[in-house]
Amino acid sequence: MTRRRTRPDTSGKPGYITPDGYRRFEEEADRLWNVDRPKMAKAVQVAAAEGDRSENAEYQYSKQRLAAIDRRLRFLGRRLKVLTIVDETPPDDGRVYFGSWVTIEDEEGETQTYRIVGPDEIDAEKKWISMESPVGKALLSRELGDEITLRRPKGEVSCEIIEVRNRP
């Protein structure tokens, strides 16, 4: 499951997104508009036909769910307009770019592999991190073999970049 923004982006700033991330946003908007919204509108209609709407829990729930779908559709519509798709594959020169997969090794020999993506497509399960996150900022523009210091809740830790891939 991907993480959704907890509040709408009101900054109006353009953001960067991978082609796959943009496609997922378009597919979500399409599903909401063509499948979920008509189904929920029908549920509102059926619940409204049952009589007194003030005490009809099914009607109240359906109206709230429909409003949530509409809010998400408005957010996706606004966000898709300002996002910039980064579809260029960066050179394989050992540097970390937007869209790169980066493997780091800490002082204890433990490795982690992250993908640097835009804030709209972060995914903790896949270890896709935002280029605006502290770790993302520390990794961007670095090279294979560079040492970086990461601040964690337990304290600072030094890591070395041991692999950079710009293709899956």
Angle at 166 between CA 122 and CA 150, to 5 degrees: 55
Q: Beta strand 111-117 with 128-130: parallel, antiparallel or unpaired?
A: parallel
Give the mean pLDDT of 89-100: 89
Per-residue pLDDT reduced to its tens digit, 46-84: 888 877 676 778 888 889 999 999 999 999 998 888 899
User: What are phi and psi for residue 34, nearest 5 degrees?
Assistant: -95, -20
Quick one: pLDDT band at residue 168, thresholds 50, 70, 90?
A: confident
Per-residue pLDDT reduced to its tens digit, 146-165: 999 988 788 889 999 999 99
Kindly report the CATH number that applies to the domain delimited by 15-85. 1.10.287.180
Q: What are the structure tokens assigned to 48, written together?
A: 């409204």
The model scores a pTM over 0.85: no
Helix ranges restricted to H, the chain: 19-31, 37-48, 57-82, 134-139
| In the block, residue with structure tokens 């300002």 | 82
Whether 1 has a pLDDT exceeding 60, the answer reads: no
- Containing 84, the helix (H) or strand (E) segment is strand 83-85
In this prediction, residue 9 carries a pLDDT of 54
The DSSP 8-state label assigned to residue 2 in this structure reads: P
Q: What are the structure tokens assigned to 39, written together?
A: 């189904």
Return the CATH fold of 101-165: Chitinase A; domain 3 (3.10.50)
Domain residue ranges in the chain: 15-85, 101-165
